Amino acid sequence: MAEPRRLSNYGEGADLLVALNAAVASARTRLWVKVPWWDVSPLARKLLDGVLAAQRRGVEVRVLCRPEASNDAVVRSLRHAGVSVTAVRYIHEKEIIADEVAITHSMNFTSAEISRNQNSGFVHTDPAMVEAVELGFLSLLENASAVTEGDESWTPASALIPDAHGSTSTGSTDSTRCNRRPCLSSSRRRVT
């Protein structure tokens, strides 16, 4: 079994962003990307450009990310290029498979994550580990309808955020209990 190689954007280890960009650029048959948040800041854009280039090379490209407004520009670019994008509501994992190499890591593809936050990961070349990462992707893809639909009931912000007089609208039965702070009730409500 091949030992994983540590990556980091701080301390010891090869540079995480460099390794991610190299994996994306080296993909010849498949490039699967799982990342919750992805913006179009300059360093994140370089990753996007690499994924789009892989698509143009004829690589099988799949991207899994959260259905969040902050991902919209990236998702539009990917879909416009014909990349398969699957929205996964509660995804938190960050992984890439480039051919027979898997990188598991902690970095979202956003400006703050890439340039400020401390992130690390591992390059896996052991076939059993790469297969394990692949199975995680396939599990989410095979259950795509289940992972894109949540059980959430959204509470309007007006029910949670006080007006100038300190009161909230009465549209929510939980508004008194949740006054002045975001509230997740038993039905998993969130601020819109």
Q: Could you report the per-residue pLDDT of 97-107, keeping only the tens digit for each?
A: 999 999 999 99
pTM, to two decimals? 0.75
Tens digits of residue pLDDT in 12-32: 767 999 999 999 999 999 999
| Confidence (pLDDT) at 143 | 78
Instruction: State the residue for tokens 């390794």.
Output: 19
| Confidence (pLDDT) at 165 | 67
Tens digits of residue pLDDT in 112-141: 999 889 999 999 999 999 999 999 999 988
CATH code for residues 5-148: 3.30.870.10
- Structure tokens belonging to residue 131: 């297969």
Average per-residue pLDDT for the chain? 82
Q: Where in the chain is the domain with CATH 3.30.870.10?
A: 5-148
